[in-house]
Structure 1
Amino acid sequence: MNAPAKPLNAPAAGISKTVKPQASTGWAKRLGKDLVQKVLPPLVITAFLLVVWQMLCSGTNASLPPPSQVLEDTWELIVDPFYDNGGTDVGMAWQLLASLERVAYGYLMAAVAGIALGVLVGQSTWAMRGLDPLFQILRTVPPLAWLPLSLAGFKDSHPSALFVIFITAIWPIIINTSVGIRNIPDDYRNVAKVLRLNGWEYFQKIMLPAAAPYIFSGLRIGVGLSWLAIIAAEMLIGGVGIGFFIWDAWNASRISDIILALVYVGLVGFILDRIVAFIGHRVTRGTSAG
């Protein structure tokens, strides 16, 4: 008699059937791919630039210190950013926090006023014709040009710095918001008329969601300008702040301290931009530029 045939899916003798953990290895592959594509390129470029900087500034006639000397000169500032010896002699963390506090107040005021004026200009043709030329002229004024006028008006350095931040950051917010309002599709407006939405309901359910990508584009530009403005303003108004720290280091010929401060300024500016971009991405559900 012939032996009964084995099922086609029966495993061969002596060979155990194993299941590969596909789910556990999938995220690891994606993580590795993201690291290679997003993290590795800037690291390679940064390392290359540091090597070039080290080579160019290692000579005896070099005007700027090489990165190795910068690290040596500023090591205490790096490892102890929260020291406080009183007055303006404080660590880098306190300097940055003082500047960020000023930026937070000035930027929030610019965001509220800018969105409100942008809605007005976007909704009203009369307001657009009357205010848009004025906005286009004022937005070209450099931030520091406003500082003497603000000092004369407020008689105090703190509100003057806030005004410089406010007047610098508000213009892109106004312009982008007004463009977003004017670009609301007519179908949305017709739906609002059919549903008989009142002014607040139209603003909340139609206007803001439709214009949100434009608004957050303006907010991203505004936060960058705010950070630029406070650094420049603090060089002149004095007190605790990263801008004054840079100016004070220049007067004391501490070039390494200036370079370290510039690195921190760039990193903080990048983080601020990413925070606003992340909020915009969540609010607009991915329709804003990230």
Structure 2
Amino acid sequence: MTLPSIKGDAIAAFPAERQKATVVTLPPAVPRRFDITALATRLAQSIVPPLVVLLVLLAVWQVAFSGPGSSLPPPSEIWNESRDLILAPFFVNGTQDIGLGWRVIVSLERVAIGFGLAAVAGVLLGALVGQSVWMMRGLDPIFQVLRTVPPLAWLPISLAAFMDSRPSAIFVIFITAIWPVIINTAAGVRNIPEDYRNVARVLRLNQVEFFFKIMVPAAAPYIFSGLRIGVGLSWLAIVAAEMLTGGVGIGFFIWDAWNSSRLTDIIVALVYIGLVGFLLDRLVGFVGVIVTRGPAAS
């Protein structure tokens, strides 16, 4: 007795046209073309509206303060009297006679040190406070009180402690920028999903591994929100501190220009300060987008 072939019977049960395999060829990948039109449209949408508003404001300013006896100089007068500061920001004619570009760099150096220290200490303290209920209850009221102290109120204390203007200015930046970093980091740590903590327990991560692999990535949007606030406060604090401590920073330049009655130079310096502060905020936001890989910190 011969058993029937199951394979042959199964093949025979299907029509001939169903036994043929069909090979589908995918179309070749079309390379993405650089759309110059879309890029130009996006740039126009981002640049044209603020540019139009700026031109309108300058025109109103020019008309409002062009008359005799006006309290503020119009844009045309600023251009005529302070053109060198605008067109040549990196000239050096002496110890104190340098361009605004060099003054901004000196101020940025102090901000980088003070804000860097505040970022590291703020993230560590914020993580500690966010993890421990008792630390939150003990330290949060103190943080809330200290963060309301104005930056310049710390300057006499720092001058008495350090006996030098440079570390005193850095301390003022540090003590001003650290509070939003601590508060936002603690809020981010408290809002870490419980599932993440359960995964850490299952994997038996130690405290260092939990900090770098779970806590920091999960709280990154909150951390960078605090860093953006902190870098803005740092820039405000250094300008105010330099007005009193002296040196060659942008803050001292404004104070010196006021004593010399050079209002046009002061206005140019204010524009420099605003632009640099804007770029610092965008830089920290850009780093936050890269770290979090999403729009949460933008």
User: What TM-score, normalized to structure 2?
Assistant: 0.88
Unaligned runs of 5+ in 1: 1-21
When Rg is computed on C-alpha atoms for both structures, the one with the higher figure is 2
Q: Which residue of 1 aligns with 2:140?
A: 132
Per the TM alignment, residue 83 of structure 1 is displaced from its structure 2 partner at its CA by 1.9
Per the TM alignment, residue 278 of structure 1 is displaced from its structure 2 partner at its CA by 0.3
CA gap 1:155/1:175 in 2 versus in 1, 3 angstroms: same
Q: Which residue of 2 aligns with 1:53?
A: 61
Per the TM alignment, residue 30 of structure 1 is displaced from its structure 2 partner at its CA by 1.1
Q: Residue 262 of structure 2 is aligned with which of 238, 247, 254?
A: 254
> How large is the Cα RMSD of the aligned pairs?
1.4
- Please tell me whether the aligned partners of residues 233 and 243 of structure 1 are also in contact (alpha carbons under 8 angstroms): yes
Q: Which residue of 2 aligns with 1:70?
A: 78
Q: Which residue of 2 aligns with 1:7?
A: none
Q: Which residue of 1 aligns with 2:226?
A: 218
Matches within 5 A, 1:95-106: 95-106=103-114
Q: Residue 145 of structure 1 is aligned with which of 140, 144, 153?
A: 153
Distance 2:270 2:232 in 1: 15
Unaligned runs of 5+ in 2: 1-29
Per the TM alignment, residue 23 of structure 1 is displaced from its structure 2 partner at its CA by 8.2
Q: Residue 273 of structure 1 is aligned with which of 254, 275, 281?
A: 281
Matches within 5 A, 1:1-290: 27-290=35-298
Distance 2:123 2:101 in 1: 32
- Please tell me whether the aligned partners of residues 102 and 161 of structure 1 are also in contact (alpha carbons under 8 angstroms): yes
- Please tell me whether the aligned partners of residues 53 and 66 of structure 1 are also in contact (alpha carbons under 8 angstroms): yes
Distance 2:90 2:60 in 1: 32
Identity rate of aligned residues, in percent?
66
- Please tell me whether the aligned partners of residues 147 and 164 of structure 1 are also in contact (alpha carbons under 8 angstroms): yes
Distance 1:284 1:80 in 2: 39
How many residues align? The count is 269
User: What TM-score, normalized to structure 1?
Assistant: 0.90
Q: Which residue of 1 aligns with 2:17?
A: none
- Please tell me whether the aligned partners of residues 216 and 288 of structure 1 are also in contact (alpha carbons under 8 angstroms): no
Q: Which residue of 2 aligns with 1:16?
A: none
Deviating 4+ runs (over 2 angstroms): 22-26
Distance 1:203 1:276 in 2: 21
